[in-house]
Amino acid sequence: MLCQGLATALGAWAPAAAQARRERAQAELAWCDAVARSDRDGWQQARNAFDHAARRLARCELHAEASESWARASACARAAARPDVAAGDLASARLEARRAGDDDPWRIVVEECALAAARGVNERSAAALSSLGSDQLDGWLARGQLDRAWAVARTAWAATRVGLPLGHPQRERMARRVLHIQESIMDKTAAADRAAVRTALWAESEREALRDLVDATAPAEPSPAVGAASPAGLPSVGPRAADHLERLLRIHRRLAREDRLEPLLEQVIDAVMELTDAERGAIVVLAGDGTRRELTRELGSSGQAVQFSRSIIDRVIEGGEPVLSVDAAADDRFDGSRSISHLNLRSVLAVPLSFRGERLGAIYVDHRLRRGNFVEHDLERVEEFAELAAFAIAHARALAAVRDQAARLAEQHERLATLLEARDVEVVGLRARVAEVETGGERHGLVGSAPPMQRVYRLVERLADTDVPVVVYGESGTGKELVARAIHRAGSRRDKPFVAENCGAIPETLLESVLFGHAKGAFTGADRAKPGLFEAAHGGTIFLDEVGETSAAMQTKLLRVLQEGEVRRVGENASRPVDVRVIAASNRDLDAMVEQGRFRRDLYYRIHVVRVELPPLRARTEDIAALVQHFLVRRGGQRLTVLPATLRVLASYAWPGNVRELENEVQRWIALCDDEVGPEDLSPALSGGEPALDPDDLRIRPRVERLERDLIDRALDRARGNQTKAAELLGLSRFGLQKKLRKRSDPHADDADGSEP
């Protein structure tokens, strides 16, 4: 079922090109959010979104779309006050434009002008800016591509206007170019459309910038009177017209800031009522599924439950023609409309909303008291405004569709993530069950899940496919040999021998023959030839525990074997080739020994390629419960139940003997306890005290044993658990101290163990 759901989710996932375009749409959403927020973080997020989309589009070889996305990314970076990033994005945009075969990337030229304005224009850079795109401008004008010429020239003019003072030659040159393009646009515009185009150019340029443009090209003589012809063919603007243009500019800015459909419709109907001085207004927008969205307003009313003539709106939507009536009640066109008489309508004005040939809906205003409230001039204004409103509504609808699509994608992504998460959990569980079956609950032969042990497991797995030498560090009893065996079993030599030897437990005189072998008659008692451990481990792994305890002479011989890959038996002159992986171990700091001259530096670098640190048991007390259970099962003590109070005592103990000491303690429970293991069943050292001595008991041995234990504990504390240093403090060999510790953990051990007094 899980795999089927995963396949379904993956099957619904779009191809790379479609996904890239979706990310471009999401970047447009981020752009809209940045416009609404107007802060650097928003613009930076939008820039990152466009950058990511552009990279995906480029990988899909959609170079034209990638170029446009990088140009948008540059605009966002410019808005975020990161001009260097914007310049880099523009360079990427030009590269993708060339790959797309676009020899005329006018949008990139526009953005370069805008970036120049953001960086600031001075006299030195003004000439370069004024010449930017000049060749393209002439070509666009010659080919009649006035929209491109106007976009580039207007942006370059804005940059020059910000950076250069009024009257500067470069500023005047740019102003004349803008006016020339504006005149060309008006010359190619039909007479009936010039008013609308002129208004659009004014709104696009913004009123103050255009006034500065006029000032920049005006002669030094006194300004002409109001109503006189404006320079360079600019329209004559009286106070009322200027006020109307200013109102249009405010409305345009409000609409530009809103990209949610419902608030946008409120802005549109409020704007139409403001422009026409209407009493009531309504807007109807058609949805793709045939439904209608209606919004109404009434002057002086806070509610929206306003009645209007639906017959007039339906007439406008179906016919696509505006309706103007100075007295609707007496208008013959509405004789069959009961809503006209029922609502006592007088003045009515309704215009269609169309965008790129698609009928979006209609705008409607009326007045019940005034006859002739709307005239032809109002109709022209509302029609002009309806074009802008239709564009804004289409944009908001597209964004809403993108948001819906993004929400669906996010929901689909969430479902997919949930499926993948469930699959991961299932896989982890299956792996754990397989590992449990194969290893009996162990991992690489080791027990424990504490973070320090997890690091050890990861190292073991990484070392599996390599033959590099390893040094395992850890206190006595932490399981260094187990780690060495785990590395051996995980590697390619797993089917070959694994040989282990404690170099510190063998006298120096015997260690050479043990490791390298001896010939017959090499020394007293050598009645036959015997191979050493290096030969026995040929093809496999040899584990040298406590390698730091070897003498300087033995270190030299070990170095020769490791360098040459050959061993020479004691009493022989011939060498024998060996192929072994060496894993060493030490509870002493070999780095410090090298600095002190007690360990050969060249041997250290030969064996010390990877370092594995084994934590002491006191550093992973959360593993004690698992270790106890492991030893109980291993030693046949499943019948015992360890009480939580006992585990708490175990967790508070320092464990100088580490895991080996814990194993000995568990063996003691198996021998002495019946069903439960309570704190009172623990060894005296673990429970925090020793049994009191009988003052009448004059035997020497119990008192000597207690004194010996106290001295050993003090030495271990002073040596911080280092048994070699503790043995030196006690005047013992390390081997002798280890025997005493083993005897201390197991009171039933044979007393005749040969340990030192």
Angle between helices 723-730 and 700-718 (to 10 degrees): 130
Residues 347-398 pLDDT 10s: 888 999 888 878 888 998 888 877 878 888 888 888 888 888 888 888 888 8
In sign, the C-alpha dihedral spanning 509, 510, 511, 512 is: positive
CATH number at 252-404: 3.30.450.40
pLDDT category of residue 159 using cuts at 50, 70 and 90:
low
Which homologous superfamily is 451-615 in?
Answer: P-loop containing nucleotide triphosphate hydrolases (3.40.50.300)
pLDDT category of residue 472 using cuts at 50, 70 and 90:
very high
Instruction: Give the whole-angstrom CA distance, residue 730 versus residue 7.
Output: 69
Task: Name the more confident of 331 and 231.
Answer: 331
Q: Which residues pair with 446 in a beta bridge?
A: 443
Q: Which residues pair with 611 in a beta bridge?
A: 471
Tokens linked to 146: 């006035």
DSSP codes of every residue in 591-651 = HHHHHTTSS-HHHHHHH-SEEEEPPPGGG-GGGHHHHHHHHHHHTT-TT-EE-HHHHHHHH
Closest CA to 26 of 4, 57, 63: 57
Site of tokens 């503790």: 726
Q: Are 34 and 42 in contact (CB under 8 A)?
A: yes
341 HSE (CA, 13 A, CB side): 8
Domain 619-689 has CATH 1.10.8.60: yes
Q: Which of 249-263, 607-621, 631-645, 743-757 has the highest mean pLDDT?
A: 607-621
Instruction: Give the whole-angstrom CA distance, residue 154 versus residue 106.
Output: 13
Task: Name the more confident of 639 and 427.
Answer: 639
In sign, the C-alpha dihedral spanning 205, 206, 211, 213 is: negative
User: What 3-state class would DSSP assign to 121?
Assistant: coil
> What would you report as the CA-atom Rg of the chain, rounded to the nearest whole angstrom?
45
Tokens linked to 166: 């009024």
Angle between helices 644-652 and 624-634 (to 10 degrees): 110
Residue 1 reports pLDDT greater than 50: no
Residues 502-553 pLDDT 10s: 998 888 878 888 899 888 877 777 778 888 899 999 999 999 999 999 999 9
pLDDT number for residue 276:
82
Residue 467 reports pLDDT greater than 90: no
pLDDT category of residue 595 using cuts at 50, 70 and 90:
very high
Instruction: Give the whole-angstrom CA distance, residue 171 versus residue 167.
Output: 7
Q: Are 663 and 745 in contact (CB under 8 A)?
A: no
Q: For residue 229, give the amino acid letter.
A: A
Q: Are 276 and 374 in contact (CB under 8 A)?
A: yes
pLDDT number for residue 318:
85
Longest dimension (CA), the chain: 139
Helices (H), 164-283: 169-187, 194-205, 207-217, 239-257, 261-276
Q: Are 740 and 749 in contact (CB under 8 A)?
A: no
Q: Are 350 and 343 in contact (CB under 8 A)?
A: no
Instruction: Give the whole-angstrom CA distance, residue 160 versus residue 126.
Output: 7
Compute CA 398 distance to the chain's CA centroid, rounded to the nearest angstrom.
29
List Cα–Cα distances, 440 to 443, 457, 640, in angstroms: 9, 16, 19
Closest CA to 14 of 408, 422, 403: 408
List Cα–Cα distances, 393 to 201, 404, 424, in angstroms: 21, 16, 45
User: How many residues does the structure list for the chain?
Assistant: 757
Q: For residue 206, give the amino acid letter.
A: E
pLDDT number for residue 582:
93
Residue 3 reports pLDDT greater than 80: no
Average pLDDT, the chain: 77
pLDDT category of residue 500 using cuts at 50, 70 and 90:
very high
Other C-beta atoms lying within 10 Å of the C-beta of residue 189: 16
Report strand pairing: 581-586 vs 470-473.
parallel
Tokens linked to 336: 């069959």
Q: Which residues pair with 443 in a beta bridge?
A: 446
Using the CB atoms, write b or e for 587-607: b if 16+ within 10 Å.
Answer: bbebeebbeeeebbeebbebb
Site of tokens 């051990």: 749
How much is the pTM? 0.37
Three-state secondary structure readout of 315-348: HHHHHCCCEEECCHHHCHHHCCCHHHHHHCCCEE
Report strand pairing: 280-286 vs 292-298.
antiparallel
Residue 22 reports pLDDT greater than 70: yes
Q: Which residues pair with 472 in a beta bridge?
A: 585, 612
Element (H, E) at 205: helix 194-205
Report strand pairing: 470-473 vs 610-613.
parallel
Instruction: Give the whole-angstrom CA distance, residue 349 versus residue 374.
Output: 7
Residues 111-130 pLDDT 10s: 777 777 666 656 555 655 65
Element (H, E) at 280: strand 280-286
Question: Residue 525 — left, alpha, or beta (φ > 0 → left; ψ -120 to 50 → alpha)?
Answer: left
pLDDT number for residue 747:
56
pLDDT category of residue 12 using cuts at 50, 70 and 90:
very low
Site of tokens 């910038």: 209
Instruction: Give the whole-angstrom CA distance, residue 241 versus residue 594.
Output: 93
- Which architecture, in CATH terms, is 700-757? Orthogonal Bundle (1.10)
For residues 64-86, give the mean pLDDT. 88
Tokens linked to 360: 């979006």
Instruction: Give the whole-angstrom CA distance, residue 24 versus residue 702.
Output: 85
